Amino acid sequence: MTKNIGILVGSLRKESFSKKIAETFSKLFPEEYNVTFIHLDGLDMYNQDFDDVGPVPESLTAFREKMKSIDAVLFVTPEYNRSVPAVLKNALDVGSRPYGASVWDKKPAAIVSVSPGAISGFGANHHLRQSLVFLNMPTVQQPEAYLGNVTSMLNEDGTVTNENTLQFFQAITDSFVDLIQKNS
């Protein structure tokens, strides 16, 4: 059965390590899975007045409609100040409103945190997990995906070719696919 996977990257930077890692993950899903990058760079900051008083900006409406067509979400994010980047938190807030119409409810999720440092985005990974619990998104528990020292994983062209690293990425993807199938 075809599944639509949305990838949300928590970094807007053109040469983002998270984007490069997300590209690698996008190629590891089974053939019958459609993978789409959901871009967050044009998403207006959430303000409840949009939903209560109006008008709702087109970027919010388009994002919510796109996410309704997505069956599961892979989050790939750096860590900013021991937490989730604002652009990613904003996307969670936009999709969770208006109250009672969350686009996230019951959608399987996986989290990959990415960092050039040794702590591996641990804070962002766990802060994001807290939000996903509230949003009622079943999330891959094992293997945990904290990718530290990411610059040593990437070739000059931004690809990952180390076989052991790719096997680890495949194990994460396979666990995510199992979770998606269990929640279908």
pLDDT for position 119: 84
> What residues contact 18, with CB distance under 8 A and at least 6 apart?
9, 10, 11, 76, 77, 78, 114
Task: Provide the residue range defining the domain that includes 161.
Answer: 3-182
For residues 90 and 159, give the distance between their C-alpha atoms in angstroms, rounded to a whole number: 29
> What residues contact 66, with CB distance under 8 A and at least 6 apart?
6, 38
pLDDT for position 120: 82
Which residues of the chain, if any, have pLDDT below 70? Answer: none
Q: Provide the token pair at 111.
A: 């989290």
> Is it true that the peptide bond before 138 is cis, omega within 30 degrees of 0?
no
Number of domains comprising the chain: 1
CATH classification at residue 22: 3.40.50.360
